[in-house]
Amino acid sequence: MKFLQILMEVALFALSVIELIFVIQLNATVRVPMKITAILIVMIILFVLLVTFEFHESKKNREKTRKVKEDYERKIADLQKKIAEVERKKEAEAAAKREKEMDKPIDVDIIG
């Protein structure tokens, strides 16, 4: 929405410049050659096209950035799941080891 507003303002500016050039052409005592007027009009149109192109390029870049960010977030979530799984396995192994040590008979030498 903001882009359309900017584009409309640029277009209105371009139209006002073109109108100003033609008014000056009609009322001027020294006329500016039509080639210069045409060059100015073409430059304004190219400026509007450049602004439009830059907007679309920035939109594409934002989309790519969003996709890359989502991809990395997904990869981070997968790695966190794997880390949690490895930690659970280590805890299970440690618990099994403690359980095994608890099951061993205790050798006690009674003196007496």
Tens digit of pLDDT for each residue in 10-61? 777 777 777 777 777 676 665 667 777 777 777 877 787 788 888 888 888 8
Taking 60 as the threshold, does the pLDDT of residue 85 lie above it? yes
Place of tokens 């304004």: 44
- Burial zone of 37 (CB within 10 Å; 0-12 exposed, 13-18 middle, 19+ buried): middle
pLDDT of residue 93: 93
Higher per-residue confidence, 74 vs 8 = 74
Higher per-residue confidence, 61 vs 80 = 80
pLDDT of residue 112: 56
pLDDT of residue 99: 84
Cα 93 to chain center, whole Å? Answer: 44
pLDDT of residue 17: 77
Taking 70 as the threshold, does the pLDDT of residue 86 lie above it? yes
Cα 67 to chain center, whole Å? Answer: 8
Cα distance between residue 44 and residue 11, in whole Å: 9
Nearest of 52, 32, 41, 36 to residue 13 by alpha carbon: 41
pLDDT of residue 21: 73
Each residue of 63-79: pLDDT tens digit?
999 999 999 999 999 99
Cα distance between residue 96 and residue 82, in whole Å: 21
Cα distance between residue 112 and residue 96, in whole Å: 36
Place of tokens 């210069």: 36
